[in-house]
Amino acid sequence: MEQTTRLARDADAGTAVRPGRRVLFTAVRNEAPFLLEWIAYHQVIGFDTIIVASNDSDDGTDEVLQALEAAGQVQHIRHSVPVGQRPQANAARLVNDMGLLAEGDWALWLDADEFLNVQVGEGRLDDLIAALGPHDGALIAWRIFGDGGNARFPGRFISDAFTGASPPMFEKNLAVKTLFRFGRGVRGFGVEGNHRPVLAGGPDSAGLRFLAPNGQPIRTKNGVHAKWMAGKDTGGNWGVPRAELGHALAQINHYMVRTPDVYELKKARGRGWAAKVADNSNSRHTDDFYAINNRNDAEDRSILRFESEVSARMQHLLKDDATRLAQEAAQERAARSLAPADEPVPVTDRSEGRGDTRPTPFEPLHGDDFIFFIGFNKCGTTSLHGLLIGSGIAAHHWQARGRKNLAQVMQMNRALGRRPFFGFEKVVGFSDMTYADRGMFLEGCLHFDELHRAYPDAYFVLNTRPEDRWIRSRLNHGDGSLLARTMAATGLSREEIVESWTQLFRAHHARVESHFKGHPRYLRFDIENDPVSSLAGFLAPRFELDISKWQKLNSTRATVDPREAED
């Protein structure tokens, strides 16, 4: 977007114009399949200058960027990174030394998997700048997005394929990127850390004012903020205190894991902020990293308001023959890299700028060798587990071997396109698929339909109890530790969590009953009102339960009614 057009529009609208270019900077390696959408989107919302530094790419990244530069769409800087140096730090140092920012420019550094999503006005960059008032910038928090259930990359992020996101107060969302006005007191992009610009410190920076992600001025007495304002450039200033977390003005949509197939390429690419090593090895992007950051707990469709504009902008960019040819070559190269050896290379349909490259779902595992208790924890899961073990039936409750939680195992296998309990084929019974810790809250039992698809001949038991007793038992669990961990993971109050659990309980039961209606291998088992013999009869003759082993285990001490404390 031309700056004169923006100024004229703002003048007609009667808003106060903030002069200066709108500059977006990124440093990339092997991002060819994703650059066109990223550039188009940020042009649509108002960036008029996009600077891209690239290093050591072999996937067509340089060719795409060179074509876009020749068409006047970006400024492309190629650089080589010596072994032992950090690619992004090298790029930042180079851009700062070149003096590419002018006084009054508004600048932001985003990675290629990060999209600025403005939450004020019409969602444009100038709406955000206007909302800053007299401030010199804003720290903008991440909102981590998951893979949306896509086993293969469907071609676009700004689409219905990627609306699953982390809870707003998810711990990893404490990380920020900074929109800032370049000028006196600001030296340039961070070299030691890319989350904030480098400030001059001392008198030159004394008058600078920045907003926190919650829309309030940053607390300058905070140690991290104080060091930053004093001019210290460090990777340790990546985030903000939880009290300052929010998305009042904007958020960074961070598609951190993208999809399982693309994630494998990310592993191979290496880290942009870690020092380059000779073999380009990558110790960060592990399966655990994927599972932790593949967050689809909430839905966020706010960025989709620009979907049609972005599509049109992408088509406009592709009208340039050199750009189109470079993009097509990069897409075909990516398709070959992403396709499993035994699958044909999918050809992208470029007529709409999107393509469907999803793989065939995992093969179901047939055989009546599994029992899944698909009710929530605090519905007799420990007692049911004890009954299976006491009857000589191999079972896992809450935690699998290697100290992996069942909910995490399910999430990780799902991310990798495998059956939920891949690797646990010798285990028969599974119960308590809940996890709440380290900023995560997972309810594995909610994915009962996926379990049924993966294990169509298994036995499914909805272990349940009266709703009010279940709520109180959950609140009491671990002397309140489950509630505390859930509050920390979701950022919700006690009252909000109770309401959430209530709605979840009702919705889950309705979905399960509808899904399994009339199914011969489904049983609803009320731990308070149904005799254990009904469960034994349901599983017989395939599994023989020793009902003498049935007992109440792991009961939480309750203050109202002992029945409310059952596991």
Q: What are phi and psi of 233, to 5 degrees?
A: -100, 115
Residue 508 · residue 515 · CB < 8 Å:
no
End-to-end CA distance of the chain: 60
Question: Using an 8 Å Cβ cutoff, are 404 and 433 in contact?
Answer: no
Query: What is the DSSP code string of 233-253?
Result: --GGGSB--GGG---SSEEEE
Encoded tokens for 341: 């050896």
**Distance (Å) of CA 381 to CA 15, 293, 451, 537:** 60, 27, 17, 19
DSSP tag of 444: G
Strand partners, 2: none
pLDDT at 280: 52
- Sign of torsion over alpha carbons 279, 282, 286, 290: negative
CB 190 within 8 A of CB 70: no
Residue linked to tokens 């891209």: 52
Tell me how far apart the alpha carbons of residues 228 and 176 are, in angstroms, rounded to a whole number: 14
Give 485's contacts (C-beta < 8 A, 6+ positions apart).
436, 437, 441
pLDDT at position 340, please? Answer: 55
CA distance 363 to 365: 6
- The predicted-structure confidence for 257-276, as pLDDT tens digits, reads as follows 999 989 987 776 554 444 54
Please state, in angstroms and rounded to a whole number, the distance separating the CA atoms of residues 412 and 290.
7
Domains, the chain = 3-308 (no CATH), 371-565 (3.40.50.300)
Those residues of the chain that have pLDDT short of 50 are: 1-15, 271-274, 276-277, 279, 282-283, 341-360, 557-566
- The widest CA-to-CA distance across the chain, in whole angstroms, is 82
Contacts of 119 (CB under 8 A, 6+ apart): 247, 248, 249, 250, 251, 302
* Cβ neighbours for 248, distance < 8 A, ≥ 6 positions apart: 119, 213, 214, 215
Helix (H, G, I), strand (E, B) or coil at 378: coil
Helices (H), 27-152: 32-45, 61-70, 87-98, 125-131
Give me the residue label for tokens 């896509």: 150
In order of 143, 263, 408, 481, the CA distances from 171 in angstroms are 10, 21, 17, 18
**Which pLDDT does position 566 carry in this prediction?**
46
Query: Which of helix, strand or coil describes residue 9?
Result: helix
- What is the chain's alpha carbon radius of gyration, rounded to the nearest angstrom? 27
Nearest to 267 by CA among 473, 484, 415, 444: 415
pLDDT at 270: 55
Tokens at residue 8, please?
Answer: 């004229």
> According to the model, what pLDDT value does residue 505 have?
94
Query: How wide is the angle at C-alpha 450 spanned by C-alphas 448 and 452, nearest 5°?
Result: 70
